[in-house]
């Protein structure tokens, strides 16, 4: 069964003919700014299983100096996916439709989380790539 997603205004739609993997929530300051949230919620996808269904012409791409980037809707601002060297690398979980049958398995860069964020008890936490004591 395909996984589908779309932006807030609904003009950009995509589907994934496969499964998501390695769902994580990143709490670094860059993700907080990019996603306008306390953290990102993101899962990896195989680029060959990802397809834009509509609105591809409405995508805006931001790429960093390291080859990583984001694609978002230029109308409503929804961040839809992450890219690596120009190919879709993963999707934001908030733009998925229905149940993608995946859960966030780890919270990363929690040592740089916002001072106002409270981490839930029992979640797997990593600080700069190392497991934090819970």
3-class secondary structure, 47:
helix
Predicted confidence (pLDDT) per residue in 62-77, tens digit: 988 788 899 999 999 9
Max CA separation in the chain (angstroms): 45
The predicted model gives 8-30 an average pLDDT of: 93
Q: What is the pLDDT of residues 77-126, one digit of tens each?
A: 999 999 998 899 999 999 999 999 999 988 999 998 888 989 888 888 88
Binned at pLDDT 50, 70 and 90, residue 11 comes out as very high
Where exactly are the structural domains of the chain?
A: 3-131
Q: Kindly report each contact of residues 99-103 with a partner whose C-beta sits within 8 Å and lies 24 or more positions away, as own/partner.
A: 100/3, 100/20, 100/43, 101/19, 101/20, 102/19, 102/20, 102/21, 102/23, 102/43, 103/23
Cα separation, 62 vs 69, in Å, equals: 5
- The topology (CATH level 3) of 3-131 is 2.170.150
């Amino acid at each position: 069964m395909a996984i589908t997603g779309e932006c807030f205004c609904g003009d950009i739609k995509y589907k994934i003919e496969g499964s998501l993997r390695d769902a994580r929530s990143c709490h670094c300051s860059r993700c907080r700014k990019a996603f306008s949230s306390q953290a990102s919620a993101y899962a990896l996808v195989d680029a060959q299983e990802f397809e834009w269904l509509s609105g591809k012409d409405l995508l805006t791409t931001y790429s960093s100096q390291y080859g990583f980037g984001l694609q978002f809707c230029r109308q409503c601002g929804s961040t839809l996916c992450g890219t690596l060297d120009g190919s879709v690398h993963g999707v934001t979980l908030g733009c998925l439709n229905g149940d993608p049958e995946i859960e966030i398995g780890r919270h990363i860069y929690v040592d740089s989380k916002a001072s106002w964020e409270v981490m839930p008890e029992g979640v797997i936490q990593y600080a700069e790539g190392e497991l934090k004591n819970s």
